Structures are given as structure tokens and as C-alpha cells.
Copies of this chain bind each other. A is one copy, B any other.
Amino acid sequence: MVSSQQRLVAEKLGIRKVVTVVGASMGGMQALQWAVSYPDMMDSVVPIIPLGRTPAWTTGVLEMLRQGIMADPRWNGGNYPSSQPPEQGMRLWSGWLSGVIVRTPGYQESLFPNSQDAIGYLKGVQDAGWRRMDAVDWIYQSWAYDRHNLGATPGFDGDYHRALKSIKAKTLILAGTGDLLNPEYEAMEAARFIPDVRYVAINEKLPMGHVSGAGISAPENELQNAEIARFLEAVTDRGRKIQ
């Protein structure tokens, strides 16, 4: 999932070692993959709302999102002109993904005490978000998302736990409480096997789910900033190690 990135960084940019690899969601999955694939290339990793391997729930959600796109007559096997994207399918994609699955029941209720307001909200999310990605691009990304499994990294023979135990980088996992895209129990399970790890649940008071890793509210931004700052201070010996 990250080998082309690594070649870019190492071969083109000539960078042999980094202080940290940080990413959220699929970026968090990639941060973990970096740590397993290139254990000597970084001091630390900060996977945010990540997965170490993709569970059946997530694959099911992604499959339904793909089906919604592919049901659009404009999909046409992916051979649509860029001027005529599968708008209806991408509106379903945007509503389900950004409007429903990355959130939680309790968070929605806190935003919309009147349940009927969820309908206008969803339509706004769809208007704003359906063009955010190209449909073919997203579908290929989703297939990579589906198949993510650190145990499948060359050298580990499918042994997921051995892959996690091989991580040398100091690790800070920030997980989304109630996350319905990347279930938090997967992040917890990963943390049980990574040798040097700190695990922090974002928003334990109001579980916001996957969006809690996306900077959606001031308190969770502050929590993440404070945690990452403290972690990097330790990794870099208060900045001395990167001078």
C-alpha cells in the first residue's frame, strides 16, 4: 500500500530516515504499513483512526458504497466521460459515507434533536461532497482499503500479530470511539501487539466515530494536538534529536 510512496521519499527525495509518519483513516492504515514495511526508516508513527487489517464490517460498507455507484446507469463499467460522472451514484456514496457511516447515532442526535432535520443535512452533505472524488479513483482505493492486512506484508506469511510485534517505531494510536468505518476494537487489538505504544481514545464523552479523527470539533482537535505534541517531544528528546 505504501511502496510507491517509500520509493518517492527514499529514491527521488533522498530521505533515508524520518522522525515520524502521521496519517488519518486510510493514512493511518498506511502509517502502520510504513512501520511494518520499513521499520528502520522512522523513529515514530502516529496512526489516527487506523486499521491494522480491514474487518468484514468495513468491507461490507465499502461493497455497498461501490454497488451504489455502479448501479448508476452513467457508471457504464467506469467508462464515463469526465463531464458526465455518475452523479446519482456519487450522491449515494457521499450521503452514506460522509453523512452516516463516519458518524455515530449519539453524535447525530446531538446535532439534530429534531430527527427530520437529518434529511436536509444529508442533502447538504451530498451537494457539497459528491464531486469530492472521482468514482473510478475511489473504487480502486476502496479495493485497496478492503485488502489491507499488515500480516500480508512480505516476510510475515500472513501472521498479523508477528507483523505488529515487528514494529520498532514508537507508536501513538489515536482511535475513534464508536467508529463505524474503522472499528475502534481493531485499533485496540493492534495496540496490544505493538511493542512501544500509547493508545488514546478520542472523545470518550461524546463518541463521534470516524469523524473524531478529522478535526471536526475544537475539543477533539485540542486533544489530538496535545497528545501528538507530547509524543513528539518525547520521540525527539524535546527537539534535540532533530536539530
Could you list which residues of chain A lie within 8 angstroms of chain B, going by C-beta atoms?
53-61, 63-64, 67-68, 71-73, 88-89, 91-92, 95-96, 99-100, 103-106, 108-109, 111-119, 121-122, 146-147, 180, 183, 185
A157 to chain B, nearest CB (A): 16
Are B183 and A56 interface neighbours, CB within 8 A? Answer: no
Write the chain B residue with the least CB distance to A107.
B57
Are A54 and B122 interface neighbours, CB within 8 A? Answer: no
Are A100 and B64 interface neighbours, CB within 8 A? Answer: yes
**Distance between Cα atoms of A120 and B119 in the complex (Å):** 31
A94 to chain B, nearest CB (A): 10
A111 to chain B, nearest CB (A): 7
In the assembled complex, which residues on chain B have CB atoms less than 8 Å from the CB atom of A72?
71
In the assembled complex, which residues on chain B have CB atoms less than 8 Å from the CB atom of A56?
108-109, 111-115, 117-118, 121
**Distance between Cα atoms of A31 and B72 in the complex (Å):** 39
**Distance between Cα atoms of A72 and B73 in the complex (Å):** 9
Write the chain B residue with the least CB distance to A112.
B56
**Distance between Cα atoms of A65 and B69 in the complex (Å):** 14
Are A59 and B180 interface neighbours, CB within 8 A? Answer: no
